[in-house]
Structure formats: C-alpha cells, structure tokens
Structure 1
Amino acid sequence: MVFYGAISKGCERCRKRKIRCDQRKPSCFKCEKLGTQCPGYRKLDQIVFRDETKRITRKIHQSEQSFSTLTPDTLPNYSRLPASSELTFGSTSFEWSLPPLDIYYPLSHSVDELGANFFFAKYTSNEAPFSGEYYDWLIQSYYSDCRVLRTAIEAVGMAGIANVSHTPHILSKSKIQYCKALNAMKRALDDPIDAISDTTFMAVILLGQFETVNFETWDRYEYWAAHVHGAMVLLELRGKEQFTRQRGGLLFVLIRSQILIACLHQHVCVPPALVRMTYSFQTSAIRREWQHRNFASPGSICGISFRIVNLMAAVKNGNVTDSVVIREIALQLDSDLMAWKAVVSQNWRYYTIDTSEATSGVEYFEGKRHVYPNLWVVEIWNSWRTLRILVNQIILQNEARTDGGNITAPSIIHQLSTDICISASSLKNTPRIVSLIRPLYAVALQEFNTSSLRCFAAEQLRWIGAEMGIRQASLLADTVFESILESTRNSAFRPRNLAIPLIPFF
C-alpha cells in the first residue's frame, strides 16, 4: 500500500461545498446548523493508501542494480579530521561504521518530497527561538543544492511516515535515502570549507535523529552515539566563529544536550572541548542578546548539568565512593538548581489552572494544566525538573541508613513528576512534544511515583510514538510497562538508566 498524502477528513457535504468541517460526531456543526442529516465521514485508510504492488515490482526490477551499491559499508570517517583526543567518549572509539541495514527498494521519487513535508510538519516549528532567519534557512537549504542536508531531511521524514502509517516499503526507502546522506556526508567532509559549514553540521544532527526515529532495538544506541561523536568533532573544528551568528548558537544548543546524554550513558565526564565551547557561547554577544530577549536565563543551568554528569561518572567509575561526600555534593547541586529557579525572569513564570475535562483530544493530568508564556519555556522547565529528579535520586541512593529514611527527596521527585505530566498538555499536538520524551521516561521509571503517574507518563510516550512516528518513544513505553510489571514481581528489579538519546528540536 502506498501513502498518497493528507486528504480532507470532512463529511461529504462539507467537501462538496468546499468549506471547513469540524468533524464532530455523530454530526458536524455545519450539517446540524442546516438541519440536515450529516452524511458521515470516509474511511481514510482506504483512500490514503493504494495498492500498487505491480508498479512497485516493476520499479524494483529497474532499480535493483542502481541501488545495490547503496550500503553503509563506505561511510564518513572522522578519524581523518584534525580533532583533539579529548573528544573521545570513554574507551570506545566511535567512527562512522554502521552495520548493514535491511533495505528493500524504493518507491517513486514523490515519496522523498512526502518525507520532507512530514519532517517540516512534525519535527520543526516556526516559533522562537527557532524561528525567523533560522527557520527560513532550514527550508531554503532543503530546496538548494545542498545534497547532504536534503537527503538527511528526507530520510528522517520518510522514516517517520513509515512508522505512523506502518508501511515497510517507505521505511526501506528511508534507509536508502539515509545511505545517500552518509555518502554525501563523506564528500562534504573531504572539503575543508564544507566540513565546518552549518548545513553539514545540521546534517550530522539529522543523521542522529534518523537513528532515534528508527530506534528499533536498544542495539541502535551506539549508532546514534557515533553521529553524536562526529558532531562533537565538528563542533570544535567550527570554533568560536560559530557563536558570532544566531544560527551557530542555535545549532550548538541542539547538539549540546545530545553530547551530555552520550556522556551520561557511557559514564564519562563532559569532554573538555565541550566545556571550552560552552564558555565561548556563554560569553558571546549572541547569548547576551538571548538574555535580553528572554530566550536565555540569567544563570546557567547548563553548568549545573555538567556537574551532575561529572558526579554520576565519578560515582559509576569508582572515583568517588564515600556516600557522605556524594550526598553532600548532590545536596549542593539541588540547592543550586533551586537558586536558579529563584532568579529566573518573571517572563518565564507559569501558573496552574483547573480544567474540568479534556478538549481537542488533549488529556489533562489530574484535571490541571500549566499556562506558560511560550513552548520554549515549557522545555526549559522540564529540563530543570528532570535534572532535579536525577539529583534527588542520587541523594536517596546515598542517604545515611541511620537517618530512618529520607522523606523529602521522594516527595520532591513526586511533585516534579506531577508537574512534568501536567505540562504534557501544553506540548500536545505540537512538534515540541518530542522534547518530553526523556522527562516522561524519567517520571515513568521512578519507583516512588504512584502507578497512575507512571502509567500516564508511559501512555504519553506511546502517543508520541504513534502520532509523531518516533520508534524510540514506543520502545521506551514498552520498557516502562515491563518495568512496572517486573517491579511488582521482583523488588530487586532495576530498569534501564535514564541515558537515552534525546531528539533535538529544529
């Protein structure tokens, strides 16, 4: 079955009159207003997808030799670039050598454009700070001759379509496009100017996103990490000059969280190169402008996140073993997070209101919703909440056994988790819902949370997977439900850690 794009979901009468239909059931408002019986709605799955088996069979035969060489055997290798050894994440050396992908063969060229449309509709948004010049640049770059970025956008979008519509042949096409993007990336890296360009850097980020969208099993993690490592190499090569431009600062923000997650998962400290680049960014005119426009906070929550990552690495590697020392450091980190909140701008404040019932398909947790000034602020608050959850986990894991148990940390975790779930309604049906994946996963894995709270978080992950075409979210939802089930059977069961790939927002 072939996907033929979006069509009208309205009733027959509204379609003939070419007017907007509110699709209310059992009768739409327009028909109800006319006092006529609403003819009802079409079964879209019978219209959007058409059986073109014969045509595809012919296409496969024609394309077999053309695409037989499109395998990931020959991939971009960053070892040729003059990067510092400080960029290595732990003992594993990440190079661009991915395993063979299961490739079927492509459909017609129009699917490429469908993939791009899906990408821009589902994974981008023309809202601050990723609006204006940045948003226009991304679209213009797609329509330009920049092959590496164009093919990467199409690969990600087609993978998303395949996941939403459950169409293996489109998924096959996305993998072929992914291979094309890898080959184009190799050519871009051969040119010293193209290698450090914004379009090449963005394409590297997108290759990582392809892995998260197509996150079929936990084995895919290392392939995502390989792209993140490549981005870290390019980040240092791009130097301070990237922070003289608004776009350069935004691309840096996109990849920084990815690098931190890679460090967290591999139990290594933040690379010195990232620390240097962050200092350059924090002292740049771009960030001062962002602070003036209320895009950046007076204090740096990023610096606190670096310290959290370093502490967790030191504990995991046995460099710090004294539970009293660990707990004191964690308490200080929690205090610093609260201090950040205390000085945050009034323009970033939010408030909570009661909501009687769900509307427009949006479910409100505990009948409440937050009102934020914009979606960017929602993401920042959820990052802050997730960091505090991590810190309070460390506090609980290292509490003195003679204290009779810590009652503060569990209540803090529960309240932070509740706020994350309430915030979900603010992001629902927007591209920025993908920023909730890791916060929701953190909530769902907390054994101190109620089952209703954990299940709500898991259901939101499942919704993101189904509606946004992100397999990672679906896999995490399954992992969470398995965790909840196993924890009821075995008190010693411990689920996977929180170090999962984050999908950047473009």
Structure 2
Amino acid sequence: MVYCGKPSKGCHTCRQRKIRCDQQPDGCSQCAKSKRTCPGYRSQLDVMFRNESTRIEKKVKARAKVVRSTAPASESASPNSSETTSSPSTAVVPLIVSPPPNVDELATGYFTSNHCSHVFFGPNTGVFSARLADPWITDITPALLYCMKAVGLSGLARLHHDPRMLNRAWGQYSEAIRLTNQALASPTEALKDGTLLSVIILGVFESSNGRTRQSLDAWAAHINGAAALLSLRGRKQITTAVGRRMFFQVTSNMLINCIQKDIPFPKEVQALMQGMRDAQLARTNASDPLQPIWRLRELMVELANFRADVQKHRISDPHQIIARCIELDTAILSNMQAFPEDVAYTRIYTTEDPDVVLDGFYDIYPDFWMVQIFNTMRNFRILLHGMVRGTLLRGFSAKPPLFTSPEYTRQLQLSVDTLYSLQADVCASVPQQIGYASRAKRRGQQPPALHQPWRDFDQDLLPVRPIGTEYLPIIRSSGNNLLNWSLFLVGNMDITTDKTRAWVIDRLEEIGSMMGMHHGTVLAKFVRELRDEKERARR
C-alpha cells in the first residue's frame, strides 16, 4: 500500500468541475444550486492508500524484458567449460519486492506494536496487532487513523531523535482533533467505536507529549469528552468485548481525574457501570472472578464522591470524616483479600542499582493489569490515611483539642505506619514498569535506547489470568498515567523523606524522557517545587 497524499474530500461532480465543495452531509450546496443530485463523497481511506502491487509487478517485468532483449547472444559452451547457457525456459524470474513503507505506515505500525493491547482493526484496513485479538471487525475512521499516526510518529521521533518527525506528529494531532470534532458533530459517527477510541488516543498523545501544566488540563478535557461519549453510547456499548474494554479504560481514567480534583463521579456513567456489572453477573451466574475488580471500582466511586463532599463542606465534622475513612479503608482491605492467590507479586532483594531500586528491593508482577490494580488500591489507601492524619493533626492542635481519647493517638500512629508501608510498595512496583527487570537480566550488556511501555511483562500470561483479557486496557501505555499519579502521590506526601522524594523526582523524569510520557516531567516539577518549598521552610 502506498500513501497517496491528502485526497480531495469533495463530491465527484465538484472534483470533475474543479470547484470547492462544502461537503454538506445531505449533499453539497454546489449541486443543490445546479439543481442536480449530489453523488456523495468517497471514503477517504479508500483513496488515501493505493495498492501498488500490480503496477510495481508490471514495471519490474517490463524492465526484465528490456534487459533480456538488449543482452548479447550467448555463446555455446565448449565441452570442457563448466558454464552453461540459460535457455528462455530456464531464465531467472525477477523477484517482485514490495515497496518499502513510508513514514505514515511506519507510524501506524509503531502505534499498534507498542500501544495496542490484544486488538486488531478489521480485515481490510491493513493494520493488525496482537496474536490473541478481540474479534473487532471494523474500519479505521479518518480521525482514528490520524490519532494513531500522531502517537506513532511521536514515538518514532523519540526513537530517532528527529524533531522534524515530532513536528509532523503535532500536525497529525491537530488534524486528528479536527476530524474527531467533526465526527462528534454527527449523530451516527459519534456512536462508533472508532470515535471513542480516537478520543482515548488523543489523551495518550497529550500525556506523552504535553510538557506544560496546561497539558494536564488538556488530558483531562479528553477524558471528559470520552465520558460524554460513554453517556451518549448508552448500554449498547457494553454488549461487545471491545466496547467493554474501552468503557473500562475510560472510566478508570475518569476515576483518577475525579479523585485528583475532588469532584463527584458522574451519576449517569455510574449507572452504566452498574449495568455492566449486572450483565456480567448474569452471564457468569454470580460466580464472576472479576468480583474484586467490580468492588474496587465501586469503592473508588465512593471515594471520589466522599472527597468531593468534604471539599464542598457537605461533610465537615472531623469525627465523621475519620469514621468514613476507616470504613472505606476496611472495605478496600477486605477486597484485596478477595483476589486469587496466583495474582500475587514476588519481592526481589538486591544491592545493585540503588539509584533505581529504592531501599534494596523491588517487586515483579505477573502482568501489567495486576500492577495497576494493586497500585490503585494503594493510592486509594494513601488518600484515606492522608485524610485521617491531616484531620487528626488539625484536631489535636485545635483549642480546645477535638480529640482527647487515646484511640485517636493510636489511630494517628497506625495511619503514619500504613502510609510508609504503602509508599514503599508503590516505589517497589516502579522498576518493573520502567523496564529495569530486563536490564537487570542483561547486566553488562548495552541497554535498549528507548524503554517501551510495559516491556517487562510476560504477554503470554495474559489470556490465562483469572481476570481474563476482556477487561485489559485497550491502549496499553495508558497505564503510565496511573504510574505517574502513584509516584506523584508518594512525592507529595508530607511524611516523605528527602531521599524518597528525590528518587520520585528522578523516576518521574525518567518516565518523561526515556518512556516518552512527558506528563511525568510535568509532575516532577510539582514535586521538585514542593521539595524546594520545604527546604526554604527549614532554613
């Protein structure tokens, strides 16, 4: 397939007349003015790529024919000669070689290889990914194609240190936004899987390439846009495997965004989540191994709404705040115990690489889905015990003190100990996620120039995990958003030591530079500013 440049989007009549076509959905106005029926518009994907195999084959055969007709006549070999004369019937047939891929084809290939998780795109699109894929037979919309090229080009730009390719990626991103907005304006296009996936990938691009604080808002805007699409798509989206996977991915990002900003989770999306769970339980006769995951998401919704109520002073009584935090923490601990035993991680102790391995140990998880689940639960508990600690300290310093019972002193110590333990577990999960495990195995050898997302997870395990592949994130690298947030939470804690905070800053910067998730660099700046502020306060 050969990229043919940006094709004209006008109708057939306007293209023949070589006039501007306004491409109205019901027929262009030029045809309407001429009182003729508009013939409609051709598929952009059909003309964007052209199959050149036949033309190249004819060209090679023609060149071979010219070579044969102009070659000198062969002389007869002597009996003592080891050479023989080729006859026409034994002539060598020229090898037909496909043309090399252009930069856009390389970009889509890079995207599907490094960002897609067990999914492929239709039999006629030429874009496939994953040995074990969902049966998703669909066309790639123009907006989706530009989104894929934008993310792929940005990855190739980092790989080859090519700023021109990065500029091209931003150009593709701008066009992707335009086409996505155009799709969102159509009642039919807005409901397509490709449109929702486009919005998800736009968020991935922003988290990968955004280098300013405003890029965090841009990422949140894409998440909010995806949330609006979930409401528009309704319950029908949870009837397909790919629909459920995208729903899971978008709502996961929504939960992070709501908890970060202390805003309530949208009720209409919460209702869809409940409907999705009910449908799953109906299929599995209430023996669903995903029960702990469903419960985790329900608890995250409760946490988001609780924090929003505290932020808006709808809940202000300190005793009530502490009691609710302990209640939610007890629920999450119970849910953690409900996960199967074989999803546990393995702790590795080492004295090597103290700059990467904090305090001499790190953990190995069976797959990238489980490390996200464990860190989600840890983040959940960090927020709760942080709220408990802050509320107790304010209550102890009040005049008169709000808390005088010894149980509150014990709770303060318990919360502080828990925060340190959770902090250590989050930090121990990082080396595997940034590719350290494979580097450790190849010690003494040259490490790869670029760490791809989730390099160190055994993909062959995924289909047989108790949680299954159906609920894996459809865009694998989006898990780095959770990794960034987890590290930011650790670095932003009041109890964090200078050593740990410096380590967090280094890891966030490494995620930004080596893994190409530049939101890590932005969050590193936040943590560095907090460190500098604390240093000034100590002087």
The TM-score by the shorter chain falls in which range? 0.5 to 0.7
State the alpha-carbon separation in 1 of the partners of residues 270 and 108 from structure 2: 34
Structure 1 pair 295–398 and aligned structure 2 pair: CA distance change class (3 A): same
Q: Where in structure 1 are there 5+ consecutive unaligned residues?
A: 1-61, 64-108, 493-506
Match of 2:115 in 1: 123
State the Cα distance separating 1:243 from its structure 2 match. 1.4
State the alpha-carbon separation in 2 of the partners of residues 290 and 366 from structure 1: 46
Supply the AA of the counterpart residue of 2:105.
E
The question of whether the paired residues in 2 share the 8 Å contact of 1:164 and 1:467 is answered with no
Match of 1:368 in 2: 361
**Higher gyration radius (CA):** 2
Work out whether 1:411 is the aligned partner of 2:417: yes
State the alpha-carbon separation in 2 of the partners of residues 467 and 117 from structure 1: 20
Match of 2:371 in 1: 378
Match of 1:170 in 2: 165
Work out whether 1:392 is the aligned partner of 2:385: yes
Q: Where in structure 2 are there 5+ consecutive unaligned residues?
A: 7-100, 120-128, 397-402, 436-451, 455-478
Q: 1:229 aligns with which of 224, 227, 245?
A: 224
The question of whether the paired residues in 2 share the 8 Å contact of 1:444 and 1:457 is answered with yes
Q: CA deviation digits over 1:130-184, x for unaligned, max 9?
A: 96665685xx86xx55211110111123234445665443332122111221222
State the alpha-carbon separation in 2 of the partners of residues 150 and 426 from structure 1: 31
Work out whether 1:218 is the aligned partner of 2:240: no
Match of 1:147 in 2: 142
- Secondary structure of 2:493 counterpart: coil
- Secondary structure of 1:353 counterpart: strand
State the Cα distance separating 1:373 from its structure 2 match. 2.7
Match of 1:188 in 2: 183
State the alpha-carbon separation in 2 of the partners of residues 312 and 164 from structure 1: 41
State the alpha-carbon separation in 1 of the partners of residues 159 and 281 from structure 2: 38
The question of whether the paired residues in 1 share the 8 Å contact of 2:259 and 2:303 is answered with no
Structure 1 pair 377–145 and aligned structure 2 pair: CA distance change class (3 A): closer
RMSD: 3.2
Q: 1:468 aligns with which of 509, 512, 515?
A: 515
The question of whether the paired residues in 2 share the 8 Å contact of 1:158 and 1:170 is answered with yes
Work out whether 1:306 is the aligned partner of 2:298: no
State the Cα distance separating 1:310 from its structure 2 match. 0.9
Work out whether 1:454 is the aligned partner of 2:449: no
State the alpha-carbon separation in 1 of the partners of residues 378 and 282 from structure 2: 23
Aligned residues: 379
State the alpha-carbon separation in 2 of the partners of residues 286 and 218 from structure 1: 41
Q: TM-score, normalization: structure 2?
A: 0.64
State the alpha-carbon separation in 1 of the partners of residues 305 and 524 from structure 2: 28
Match of 1:431 in 2: 453
State the Cα distance separating 1:263 from its structure 2 match. 2.5
Match of 2:333 in 1: 338
Supply the AA of the counterpart residue of 1:412.
T
The question of whether the paired residues in 1 share the 8 Å contact of 2:118 and 2:131 is answered with yes
Structure 1 pair 278–125 and aligned structure 2 pair: CA distance change class (3 A): closer
Q: CA deviation digits over 1:175-221, x for unaligned, max 9?
A: 21112212222332344332111111100111122222222211233
State the alpha-carbon separation in 1 of the partners of residues 350 and 161 from structure 2: 35
State the Cα distance separating 1:250 from its structure 2 match. 0.7
Supply the AA of the counterpart residue of 1:369.
Y
Match of 2:19 in 1: none
Q: TM-score, normalization: structure 1?
A: 0.68
% identical equivalent positions:
26
State the Cα distance separating 1:480 from its structure 2 match. 1.4
Structure 1 pair 136–162 and aligned structure 2 pair: CA distance change class (3 A): farther
Structure 1 pair 114–124 and aligned structure 2 pair: CA distance change class (3 A): same
State the Cα distance separating 1:362 from its structure 2 match. 9.8
Structure 1 pair 298–290 and aligned structure 2 pair: CA distance change class (3 A): farther
Structure 1 pair 427–321 and aligned structure 2 pair: CA distance change class (3 A): same
The question of whether the paired residues in 1 share the 8 Å contact of 2:355 and 2:503 is answered with no
State the alpha-carbon separation in 1 of the partners of residues 322 and 130 from structure 2: 42
Supply the AA of the counterpart residue of 1:156.
V
